[in-house]
Structure 1
């Protein structure tokens, strides 16, 4: 897996990837993460880089190291009491739910004329599709669109890490997001994946991600089967 060589330290990038894998159940509670040599080979870094990443995750309470027994996942939720903002996934995990993401496809596509991806990125671009399962049931379907200059995506890099971490590795910095919400019936293919009827209205989320120059570098459309779980936003005042 390639990492960005001109962004934040490599061990922090690896720490965030491992943490995302823990959050989404790729490394389940009470299981061991891969041994250091395997992580060194996967990320193409030194032993000290892997150890620094693991050390921080131990300090944050996610991992526990034991001589001769490997490194075990002991927590999959945030341990910081000072953090007042949490991702929706973190909220679900803290409530004891199990959320798993499945990569469906990553390919260069031709955008339909008149569509939002066409208006934003032109005739062609990269599309990544993901399905999120909640307690083993299909819950969210996302289609992510990117401009063609980002190039093709290696599915092995997307299978178990944050999408925005992957963007950062490809030298794309996100400065801000804009979200829009609506009620909409999903396309037939999405309805099939979420096991809902085509005429069944779902919560639809549109997301625009902007770089530091103010250009849209990612646009996504997500359908939430909110009868399984309402979308949650926490506010602290």
Structure 2
């Protein structure tokens, strides 16, 4: 009989407890965070920016959602994802993690690449966030799989006037 360690699961979700997500940090500080899906559609990437077009070729799913902090609009998200399964299955991400949904298709997260900038906010997003500020923090995230492929690109606009984007440690997403 052989002895040793059996790896039951080597997925991101088993590794994350050592590093809290930004959502967890917000909730641990006594705030509530709720997400709402605004739309899910299959889009022709020809209508999107160069990176989306190069990453997902001809089409992708576009998931638009908003996060509410203590009942107030806080983060506006646009996620671009590979066309996997049905749009109806993607609707489950309102209750389940988007990364768990990707893992169901063997698109397991290895690491994130985030970049940040301050951007001028377009009127439709200002309306969704119920703000009159002209500029907010934008995060661009590339989610990289265990096979070193980009499996998600997201654009997030944070109303940092409601809660600052901060981590209690240096941002390093290698898992």
Same topology, TM > 0.5: yes
Structure of higher CA gyration radius: 1
For the 8 Å contact 1:141–1:194, the answer to whether it is kept is yes
Corresponding position of 1:119: 54
For the 8 Å contact 1:138–1:195, the answer to whether it is kept is yes
Corresponding position of 1:132: 67
Q: 1:186 aligns with which of 121, 137, 146?
A: 121
The structure showing larger relative contact order (alpha-carbon pairs under 8 Å, at least 6 residues apart) is 2
Q: Give the total of aligned pairs.
A: 156
What RMSD in Å do the two structures reach over aligned CA positions? 2.2
For the 8 Å contact 1:144–1:218, the answer to whether it is kept is yes
* TM-score (norm: length of structure 2): 0.80
For the 8 Å contact 1:203–1:223, the answer to whether it is kept is yes
Distance of aligned partners of 1:175 and 1:223 in 2 relative to their CA distance in 1, 3 Å threshold: same
Q: 2:130 aligns with which of 189, 195, 202?
A: 195
Q: 2:108 aligns with which of 173, 186, 197?
A: 173
The one-character-per-residue Cα deviations of 1:130-172 (angstroms, maximum 9, x if unpaired) are 1000011000011110133x24322542221111011112221
* TM-score (norm: length of structure 1): 0.60
The one-character-per-residue Cα deviations of 1:46-103 (angstroms, maximum 9, x if unpaired) are xxxxxxxxxxxxxxxxxxxxxxxxxxxxxxxxxxxxx652111111111111111111
1:87 aligns with 2:25: no
Q: CA shift at 1:213, angstroms?
A: 2.2
Structure (1/2) with the larger strand percentage: 2
Q: Secondary structure at the match of 1:202?
A: strand
Structure 1 runs of 4+ with >6 Å offset: none
